[in-house]
Chain A
Amino acid sequence: MYRSVFGKVLVRQLLLAFRRPAAVLNPLFFYGVVVLLMPLGLGPQQSVLSQFAPGLLWITALLAGLLSAETIFRGDYDDGALEQLLVSGESLYLASLGYVVAHWCLTGLPLALFSPAFGQLLSLPDEGLGTLAVSLALGTLVLSAFGCVGAALTMALRRGGMLLSLLILPLEVPVLILGAGVVERAVNGMPVDSLISILGGLSLLALALTPLAIGSSIKISLEV
C-alpha cells in the first residue's frame, strides 16, 4: 500500500498525532506561553523587546523542538513497533527520515507558520517577519533531525530528559546563530539571501546524514 517505509512512517506519525488534536497544538501553546514570559521578564518597552526579539524567538524554537523530541520514539519503543520495524528488514535510513520529517511537520512547520504573529507580540519590526518564518521553516528541519538523533540515543534510558538537552543543544548552536543572525540582518535592512541559502544547505546536510545516526541508534536502543 505504501511504496516506501518513509511514507508509511510519515503517515503513521501524522495520523497518530491528529488522533489527539490538542497535542498537535501543544508546541504552539508552549511557544505562546514562553513569548508571554519575555515581556514579563524583560519589561514591556518595545525598544528592548524588538532588540532581543530575533534571539528570543529562535531560542524558544530550540526549546520547543527539544521538549517535543523526547517523545518521538517513546510510544513506538514501548509498544514494540520499533522492534517490528527492525525485524521487517525495511531501510532504517528511510524510516528515520520519516520520523524526522514527521516531527518537523508537527513542530517546526506550525511554529514557522505562526511565527510572524509571535514576532508581532515581541515588537519585531515588520521587515523581519517574513525572514523569521522562512528561517524557522528551514532551521527547524535541522532541529528535528538532531532531536531525533538525541531521542534515538536516549529512548531506552529511563531518565533521558535532561541528558537529551545536553546531547543536542550544543549541536544546534550553528542553527541558532544563523537563524537569529539572519532575522537581525533583515531587520536592519541588509540582504539575507546568502544566509538563507546557507541555512537551507545545513538542513539538507542534516536530512542527508542524521538518518544514518538515527538508524544505528535505534538498533542500539533496542538491544538494551
Chain B
Amino acid sequence: MAWTWFHRLGSSPWIYRFSGQLLRYLLPLAIVLVVAGSVWGLAFTPPDFRQGNSYRIIYIHVPVSVVSLAGYYVMAIAGAISLIWRLKVADMAMRVAAPIGAAMTFLALLTGAVWGKPTWGTYWVWDARITSMVVLLFLYLGVFALYEAYDNKALASKACAILSLVGTVNIPIIYKSVDWWYSLHQPASIKFTGGSTIDPSMFYPLLLMIVAVYCLYTCLLLMGLRLTLLETEAKTAWVKKEILGES
C-alpha cells in the first residue's frame, strides 16, 4: 500500500489530475471561507475593549503569519524529500512554495505595521513577533536570490534545499532568541490579545480565518505545482494527451 502511494507521488500525470480534481472543490471552498471569515471579522464581532476596531486586522495578520511560517517548513521538507529521494515533484513544490511564502510573509509584515499605527501610534515597533517575521522574510529572500544566482536550475534547487534545511533547524532558535531579546529590552507593556483571555466571539472568526488561509495556501501550492508540471514536461506524451484530450 505504502509503496503504491510513493509510486503515485512519482507519477506526474497522476498528480496533475488528482490536484486538478482536488482544486475543483478546494479553491471555491477556500475563497468562500476567506470571504466569510473576513465579513465576520469586519462586521459581526465586537471591538476589543483596549484596541478598539483596529484589532480587526488580526483576523488577517495572524493567519497569514502562521501560514508563512508553516510555508517555510513546507518548502524545507519538500527540499529534503527532493534531496534524499530525488522526487521531481518535491523539487517543484519547493520552488513553488518560496514565492508564495515570501508573499505571505510580506502581507504579515504589512498588516502588522498598519495595525501598529492606531495601536502603538507608530508604523514600526521592534516587537518580537514583527522582528521574527522580518528575519523570516530575509530567509525566504535568501532562498529566492540563491535560486536566481545559479544558471543550472537543477543545481539551484539542490542548493536552495540545503539552505532551507539549514534555515529550518534555525527557525525555532531564532524565534526563541527574539522573544528573549524582546523581554530583555522592553518589558511587555502592550501585548497581542493573549490566547487565554480571548473571547469566543473573537476566537471563532479567527479560527475560521486560519483554516481558510491554510486552504488557500494549499490551493496556491497545487496550482503552482500544476503549472510547473506542464511547463517542465511539455514534451512528454501525457501532457500532449492531457491538452488535446480536453477539447
Contact = CB atoms under 8 A, between A and B. Distances in A.
Chain A bound to chain B: yes
Contacts of A184: 184
B29 interface: no
B139 A202 contact: no
Contacts of A163: 145-146, 149
A123 interface: no
A157 B167 CA distance: 21
Most buried by A among B141, B155, B162, B163: B162
Interface class of chain B by DSSP: helix
Contacts of A153: 146, 159, 162-163
Nearest to B83: A216
A173 B174 contact: yes
B180 interface: yes
A209 interface: yes
Contacts of A173: 135, 174, 177-178
A167 B142 CA distance: 5
Interface in B163-186: 163, 165-167, 169-170, 173-174, 176-178, 180-181, 184
Contacts of B178: 173, 177
A177 B166 contact: no
A57 interface: no
A177 B128 CA distance: 12
Given A166-B138, A166-B145, A224 B177 contact: no
A60 interface: no
Interface residues of B, number: 30
B21 interface: no
A149 B177 contact: no
B44 interface: no
Contacts of B180: 177-178, 181
B120 interface: no
Count chain A CB atoms within 10 A of each CB in B138, B146, B167, B169 and give the residue with the most.
B146
Interface string B82-94: 0100000000000
Interface of A: 146, 149, 153-154, 157, 159-160, 163, 166-167, 169-171, 173-174, 177-178, 181, 184, 202, 209-210, 213, 216-217, 220, 223-224
8 contacts: A157-B150, A170-B167, A171-B139, A174-B174, A216-B83, A217-B159, A223-B152, A224-B152
Interface of B: 83, 135, 138-139, 141-142, 145-146, 149-152, 155, 158-159, 162-163, 165-167, 169-170, 173-174, 176-178, 180-181, 184
5 smallest beta-carbon distances between A and B, as pairs: A174-B177, A170-B138, A177-B181, A177-B177, A167-B142
